[in-house]
């Protein structure tokens, strides 16, 4: 893959994206089997989540906003908040929280300082900007109770921790969880012990940080740019990227799997409770 990210363990299996190519992929069968393409968009595709009650439908951070990908390959845009931005923008990483809201970050194509934002898609489909002045947002990742959100600003080398009101999804004041000096924190996932696995771009490593911010362990990879992580039970899946490398190695852009001793939970589906049905949604 050129820029493999957004890997998630869902009730529909492992899904991931090749962002700049706009490809949605799934891993099926044996781990060494080829990835299967589910969809391809004419715009960058940052990450997806399944839509509850709508088989084959995904909510996606794509292009300049949020859309639904339907089983027939068509798209329905919920909002495109970055379409009229002063500089060219695209969506980046995204995930659901435990209550089924969808959170997605945006960034400038040239990673302009502070140009990015974080958006939240509520259960009624409303898209709201909740944070700005982010350069390259990655994650977010949530604790199992939904009361804490981790968000990386990769270009600034920092992961921040935000308190979240699980009822209203309002964010409290952040604190710095981890700073990375030798690379860029990228995709993240929280395991059942509340520790955070972080893909560290540029270092060929994935690192597990305890809830107090201490580094617990480091997993080394034969690829320089780890970009996304997810936990499927006790298997840690890692995406990497070739983009920007003058001489990519044989494993740059590959997907890796490693067995770990602390499992994770499947990603939550996006839950829509509005009066209007999404395409493909069961009545």
Query: Which tens digits make up the pLDDT trace of 97-119?
Result: 999 999 999 999 999 999 999 99
User: Domains in the chain, please, with CATH?
Assistant: 4-259 (2.120.10.30)
Please give the pLDDT value at position 72. Answer: 87
SS3 178: strand
Q: Count of residues for the chain? A: 283
pTM of the entire structure? 0.95
Whole-number average pLDDT of the chain: 94
| Binding site feature residues for substrate | 90, 92, 110
Query: Which tens digits make up the pLDDT trace of 144-191?
Result: 999 999 999 999 999 999 999 988 999 999 999 999 999 999 999 999
| Binding site feature residues for a divalent metal cation | 5, 138, 186
Q: Nearest Cα to 158, choosing from 180, 130, 131?
A: 180
Q: What's the pLDDT band for 282 if we cut at 50, 70, 90? A: very low
Query: Which tens digits make up the pLDDT trace of 14-33?
Result: 999 999 999 999 987 666 78
- Is the distance from CB of 43 to CB of 62 less than 8 angstroms? yes
Catalytic positions are 186
DSSP state of 210: -
């Amino acid at each position: 893959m050129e820029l493999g990210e957004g890997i998630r363990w869902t009730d529909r299996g492992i899904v991931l994206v090749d962002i700049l190519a706009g490809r949605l992929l799934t891993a099926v069968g044996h781990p060494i089997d080829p990835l299967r393409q589910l969809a391809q968009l004419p715009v960058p595709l940052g990450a997806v989540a399944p839509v509850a009650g709508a088989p084959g439908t995904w909510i996606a951070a794509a292009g300049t906003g949020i859309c639904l990908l339907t089983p027939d390959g068509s798209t329905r845009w919920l909002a495109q908040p970055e379409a009229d931005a002063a500089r060219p923008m695209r969506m980046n990483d995204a995930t659901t929280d435990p209550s089924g809201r969808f959170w997605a970050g945006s960034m400038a194509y040239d990673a302009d300082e502070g140009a990015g934002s974080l958006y939240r898609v509520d259960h009624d489909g409303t898209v709201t900007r909740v944070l700005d002045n982010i350069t390259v947002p990655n994650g977010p990742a949530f604790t199992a109770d939904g009361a804490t959100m981790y968000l990386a600003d990769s270009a600034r080398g920092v992961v921040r921790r935000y308190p979240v009101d699980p009822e209203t999804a309002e964010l409290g004041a952040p604190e710095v969880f981890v700073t990375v000096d030798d690379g860029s924190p990228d995709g993240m996932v929280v395991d059942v012990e509340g520790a955070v696995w972080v893909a560290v771009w540029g270092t060929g490593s994935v690192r597990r940080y305890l809830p107090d911010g201490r580094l617990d362990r480091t997993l080394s990879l034969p690829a320089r740019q780890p970009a996304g992580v997810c936990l499927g039970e006790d298997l840690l899946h890692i995406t990497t990227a070739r983009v920007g490398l003058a001489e990519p190695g044989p494993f740059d852009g590959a997907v890796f799997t490693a067995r770990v001793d602390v499992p994770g939970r499947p990603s939550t589906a996006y839950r829509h409770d509005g009066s209007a049905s999404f395409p493909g949604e069961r009545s």
